[in-house]
Amino acid sequence: MNVLKRWLGSVPIRGKLMLFSSLTSGMALLLAGIVLTVADYHSGRRALIQRLQTQAEITARNSSAAVAFDDAQAATHTLEALSADRAIVSAEILRMDGTLLARHGRDMDETARQFPSIGEAHTEPDGLIHVNTDVQLDGRIGRLNLWATSAELKVKLIEHSAILAGVILGALGLALLAMARLQRIVSAPLVRLAKTTQRYRARATTACAWNPLTPMKSGS
Amino acid sequence: MRRAGILAALTGLAGAVGFSPAGFADEAATRREDQLKAAYLFNFVKFVEWPASVPTDVLTVCFVGGEGVHDALASGIDSKRVGPRRLAVRQVQESASATDCNVLYLDAAVVPEGRVSSQDRLPILTVSDAKGFARSGGMIEVFTDSNRLRFRINIDNAQQAGLRISSSLLQLAASIEKAGPK
C-alpha cells in the first residue's frame, strides 16, 4: 500500500488525472458489461427453454397418433425430426403407464425423468436442460421428455465476454487519447500555478538568505 | 397338496364342459385381439372429421358381426368420448340400413369377400378386418402383420363420403389406397 502511495506521489498531476479517470471509466464499463452479459445469459436461457418447450409441444402433437396406436416406429420417426435442433441430446416418449415407447438420442436414466412438472424446465446435475409435456388425445395418453445441452449459451457467453473485453479496451484507449488532450484544460492552470509557486518559493528563499549586515550591492 | 387337488378338479371340470388349456389360450388371444381392434376403432374416430351436417352430440358405432369387438368397445362406454361427442355402440343386421351410424364395423366373417356397398356415399366411416376391404369400397382395413395389428386406408372412398382423415392417421397406415372400388 505504501509502495502504491509512494508511486502515486511520484506520478505527475497529469498522469494522476488520467489514471483516475481511466480507472473510474473502466470500472463503470466493466460493471455495465457484467450486468449486460449476465442479463443476456439469462435471456438466452429463457429463450432456449421456450424453444425447447415449443419443440416438445409440436412433437407431442405430431406423435399423438403414434402413441394412440402404440406405434413405436412412427413415434421414433417423429422424434428423429428433433435432430435438426443441435441443442437436443435426447428425446423420448413414454406411454401412459410410464413405459418407454420411443427414444432418440442419449439414453437417460430414471432419475433424470423425475423432474420437472409439466410446462417447467429443470437443469440436471450434468447441466442438461429438461423439459416435458403431455401427449394428448382427448386427454393425456403419454408424455414426451426432451433434454438439451446449454453449450450454445456457454459459447455465446464466451463470445459476448470477448466482445465486451474488446469494447472496454477500445473504449478505454479512446478515452485515454481524449483525456490526454482534454486534461490540459484542467491540469495546465495547475501546472502553471505549481510553477509560479516554485518560482515564488525560490525567490522567497533568496530573500530569506539576505543579511541586513551585509551591505547591499548597488543596482541589486 | 390341497392346491393340486383344486387344480385337478378345475382341469376335470374344464374337460367335462369341452374346454382344454389350448382352448383357453385361443379364447384369450381372440379376446385380446378383439380388445385391440376395439381400441383401434376408438382411436380411428379421433382422427376422422365428419361433415358439419352430421350431429355432433353422439358418435354411433354400428357393428355387423364382430360381437367381441362390440363388447370390448361397449365396456366402460360412459367414460369414452371423442372430443365433445358421446360414444354409442349397437349391433345391426347385415341387411339393415346403417344411415344413422357414423362408423360401421363389418366383421370378416360377415363380409368374407370384403366387398361392401358404398352406402350411397353416406358420411359413414367403414372399417373391417376383411381381406381386400380397402380395395372393395371400404375405408379402413385392419389386418394382422407379424403379430401386430395394422391398417390400410382408402382415402378416396373416405373423401367421396365427405370424411376427412387426419394426416397423422395416414402416416401410420401400412398403405394408402387411392383408387375407388373396381
Contact B46 A138 (CB under 8 A): yes
- Answer yes or no: is A133 within a domain: yes
HEC sequence for A158-184: HHHHHHHHHHHHHHHHHHHHHHHHHHH
Tell me, yes or no, whether A207 lies in a domain.
no
- Which member of B40, B81, B166 has the closest CB to residue A69? B40
Residue contact A74–B47, C-beta within 8 A: no
Q: Which residue of B has its CA nearest to A64?
A: B168
E-state strands within A5-74: none
Range of the domain at A111: 38-154
List, in order, residues 6 or more apart from B19 with CB less than 8 Å away.
none
Count of structural domains, chain A: 1
**Could you say which of B81, B82, B172 has the minimum Cβ distance to residue A69?**
B172
pLDDT tens across B71-83, in order? 999 998 888 888 8
Domain-located, residue A47: yes
* pLDDT over 90 (residue B103): yes
Specify if A203 maps to a domain.
Answer: no
Indicate whether A193 belongs to any domain.
no
Assigned domain for A68 exists: yes
Taking residue B140's Cβ as centre, other Cβ atoms within 10 Å add up to 26
pLDDT 10s digits, A112-163: 666 666 667 777 777 889 999 999 998 899 999 999 998 888 898 899 889 8
Burial class from Cβ neighbours inside 10 Å (0-12, 13-18, 19+) for residue A92 reads buried
For residue A183, is it within any domain?
Answer: no
B40 CB neighbours in chain A (<8 A) are 69
Q: Does residue A10 belong to any structural domain of this protein?
A: no
Mean pLDDT on B19-25: 61
| The predicted structure's pLDDT at residue B129 | 92
Is B46 touching A (CB cutoff 8 A)? yes
Give the gap in angstroms from C-alpha B174 to the nearest C-alpha of chain A: 11
Residues in chain B: 182
Asked if pLDDT for residue A216 goes beyond 50, the answer is: yes
- The CATH number for A88's domain is 3.30.450.20
How far is B61 from chain A, CA to nearest CA, in Å?
A: 18
